[in-house]
Amino acid sequence: MTMLMPVYVGTLLLCWSMVWLGPLQRGMLLAQRVAATPTLTVDPLVYNTSLVPFVPHVGDEPMSNYLVQTLDFTHLKASLAQLRRLVPRPLMSRGEAHITVITPPEYEHTLQRVGITMDELNAIAVQHRIQENPFRIVCLGRAKVPRPPNATRVDDRRDHATIPAAMSADEAVRQMQTMPAEMLLTTAPSAALVTPDHETSSEEGEEGDGDGDDPSMEVYYLVVESAGLVAVREAIARLFRARGGRPSDFCATAFWPHITLGFTDRDLFVEDGVFKDRTTCWARIRFAAAPPTPSSTPQRA
């Protein structure tokens, strides 16, 4: 029995160290992981979308019709520049910013097939005061997919027209119906296309030829949450069902709002298997100053 005491005591000490040091080690590892997480600084003025006119996106070409909340890209230029310093691969940007509410495939493959027009969608957006809609930036997200051998980059700049955010639904429909077709196109490219701004990461020179040897395509974006934009989609879903659409064909909450900042080859979408939600968070967000309270204007039903 006496001979077994050292073994017994050693076992107790081992168990004690596992019980007490285990959480400590896990805490240290978590602290190291948090410290290693990048941080992106964002100008809180990006929340002031009520100062930005509503921009309709209407076109005759495939995948040129969609609905967005337009943002002032000026307030994201510094964030994009910082992102390019964080990422060792060259990143392109559209040079504009928005939160897509209805994607081109949703309109063309689902909503348009029951007779819903872009005039009606834009009218719903204006009626819900989409440009005054509050949203919250959660994090900087990143998504990666394998690069196909035929990956290309597309340039699709267009003219644009705007309507005031305070315009009534009927006025919005009348104005868009009387506008020349060529004026209903927009400088902001289709969410299905890409417009490189020919700027690259400041690291490109140090990293050689950029991302030529990397087999993946990457996209970086601000993950967003917004009950108001879900409400806009719910209004559209009601119209869809009223026109005879099956509820399962358009789900208002099948929605991953985000603000795309930069990408290596092109933007990536749900069709690529990319869902831009908080599960893809890659970096934390720090505001350059205390963020203002987003507009609390009630959303009209």
- 297 located within any domain: no
d(C-alpha 26, C-alpha 22), whole Å? 6
Specify the DSSP class assigned to residue 293: P
Which residues have C-beta within 8 Å of that of residue 56, sequence separation ≥ 6? Answer: 118, 122, 161, 162, 163, 176, 184, 186
The whole domain housing 71 covers: 38-287
Between CA 39 and CA 267, with CA 102 as vertex, the angle to 5 degrees is 45
Mark whether 163 and 280 lie in a shared domain: yes
Q: Taking 70 as the threshold, does the pLDDT of residue 260 lie above it?
A: yes
Q: Taking 70 as the threshold, does the pLDDT of residue 269 lie above it?
A: yes
Q: What is the pLDDT of residue 23?
A: 53
Length of the chain, in residues: 301
Mark whether 67 and 129 lie in a shared domain: yes
Within 10 Å of residue 59's Cβ, how many Cβ atoms? 20
Mark whether 30 and 100 lie in a shared domain: no
Mark whether 29 and 43 lie in a shared domain: no
Mark whether 155 and 244 lie in a shared domain: yes
Mark whether 162 and 31 lie in a shared domain: no
Q: Taking 90 as the threshold, does the pLDDT of residue 22 lie above it?
A: no
Q: What is the pLDDT of residue 182?
A: 33
Q: Residues 134-147: pLDDT tens digits?
A: 999 999 999 999 99
- 301 located within any domain: no
Beta-sheet strands, E only, within the chain: 39-42, 67-71, 97-102, 136-146, 216-225, 258-263, 281-287
155: pLDDT confidence band, cut at 50, 70 and 90?
very low
Q: Taking 70 as the threshold, does the pLDDT of residue 9 lie above it?
A: no
Mark whether 193 and 46 lie in a shared domain: yes
Q: What is the pLDDT of residue 122?
A: 98
Q: Which residue has the higher pLDDT, 207 or 171?
A: 171
Mark whether 109 and 3 lie in a shared domain: no
Q: What is the pLDDT of residue 149?
A: 79
Mark whether 219 and 105 lie in a shared domain: yes
Mark whether 28 and 54 lie in a shared domain: no
Q: Taking residues 116-120, report their average pLDDT.
A: 98
Q: What is the pLDDT of residue 214?
A: 74
Q: Taking 80 as the threshold, does the pLDDT of residue 206 lie above it?
A: no
Mark whether 236 and 150 lie in a shared domain: yes
- 292 located within any domain: no
How many structural domains are present in the chain? 2
